[in-house]
Amino acid sequence: MSDARLGAGTGRSAEQWFALLDAAGSATRSHTQIARWLVDEHEVPGWWAQSITVRYEQARGMRLPGQQADGTFSVSVSRSLRGGQLELLDLAVERFAAFAGGPPDSTSRSAKHPTARWRLPSDESLLLTVAPPVGGKCSVSLTLSRLRLPERVEPVKQELTRAFRVVSDRQN
């Protein structure tokens, strides 16, 4: 997020927020404590509080880019594909079942955003989501969560991107 957007949304620049957070001793606080302090003490809306907190943690070396509050990493890839949500869910589940080593542990077909979830043997989690159509296309997203090592992020992203190509190719 740009400094201009942050300033327009919150009334302060990143550096101004960082100075306030430093003065409050936030470098020794948890993610939740920092975000809650922003909401409670400065009336920052939740989404902005999360954004400021993540930027602060990254700027102060408390969190690497892409790192979650629990220390793990997540990788997401998505594609806009033509077709109905359930049709795309079925197609993607078929393709990604091979990637995940079997059928999903759970599937939700009736939600606004149909999903399929896999718990992988490595304690990682794979989530497939199909968003409602916009302009005749649905956004199909795949997120692999709970990666423990940052050096796995880029190879996993490449694997997911390759797997998505097959889904896209099979659609045609």
Phi-psi sector, 61: left (phi>0), alpha (psi -120 to 50), beta: left
Give pLDDT tens digits for 39-98: 999 999 999 999 999 999 999 999 988 888 888 999 999 999 999 999 999 999 988 888
The two structure tokens encoding residue 23: 């003065």
The predicted structure's pLDDT at residue 153: 92
Give me the pLDDT at residue 65, please.
81
In one-letter notation, the amino acid at residue 138 is: C
Which domains are assigned to the chain?
3-59 (no CATH), 73-171 (3.30.530.20)
What's the pLDDT at 154? 93
Q: Band of the pLDDT at 167, cuts 50, 70, 90?
A: low
User: 102 burial class (0-12, 13-18, 19+ CB within 10 angstroms)?
Assistant: exposed
* pLDDT digit string, tens, across residues 2-52: 889 999 999 999 999 999 999 999 999 999 999 999 999 999 999 999 999
